[in-house]
Chain A
Amino acid sequence: MDQPTNKRFGMVIDLDKCTGCGACMVACMAENNVPFREDDTDKLLSIAWMRVYRLKNGKSFPQAEECFLPRPCQHCEGHHGHSPCVSVCPATATDYDMQTGIVSQVPTRCFGCRYCMAACPYHVRQFNWWDPIWPDGMERSLNPDVSVRMRGIVEKCSFCYHRYQRALDEAYAEGRRDLKEHEYQTACTQACPAGAITFGDLNNPAHTVHKLAQPDTAHEGKSRNPKAFRLLERLGTNTKVYYLSSREWVRRAGDSALRKS
């Protein structure tokens, strides 16, 4: 029997194009009902599924250079779906979906032990220390496709999985079983005014992400594109977010501590 080919949804972010404007962050917040607080300036406590970091080359003026690095969940595949967070979750609140390659997060299953936060090398997971409260009337802007998370649980980027489901629903309604590349795009990809983010199926050679990332499946998806790198690749997390940069110091920075922006 024919098995449908598994997908590996992934992202390529061209750091040469990224302007650090923050549209991806805000698109994500609006799409995914991310709560906000009166004082969100402590970025360790502020919830953002997508965060733009600022990298510096460490040189002094005027040789100083900066580069911006948007960081969604990296959707690690590890070895056969053993992503760092999935392996430690005692509640099966987070899981690696072999059909899509997406690391899910089910808020209603999570009981807030935060093992996953400790395990994640990328700080993509954030804890709801407070009840999400919207100013009077603003809760009208909430998106019904994404559940609002309450105090005491962990949340993170889902590659806008609800958009995948909606796109599939629409395709099924038309009698199709497969999606076209443009039908499933994350909110950040869609919003990026510089066209820096590309999203699609890394397993599909026709998709732009595949062409840009040139993943080498024999070597855990390592890119064959000399401009491309992944964050902390040496950890073997086998992430599905690839970054492109023409600057060497930026590519090197992908493997050391990042500074927040």
Chain B
Amino acid sequence: MTTVRCMLMRGALLVVAASVLAGCSIQPWVKPYERERLADPLMALSRNGLADKHRDHVFDVREASRGATGVQGSGCGCN
């Protein structure tokens, strides 16, 4: 019980610290008008979802690893 209470207290302190940081100290340091470059297709993490999905499928059926690719998909009869 004591361990649970201790963990909750730590969690509460962490969240309070995060709240203070979020609410007071740190402000977004890249303003919306400074993000023009980030909106350029050159800076896109994924430019074509359909093509990325095909490429992901090519690796998915041949490699044991899977997931966290940033490409959304589901079952494919890969076995």
Partners in one complex: no
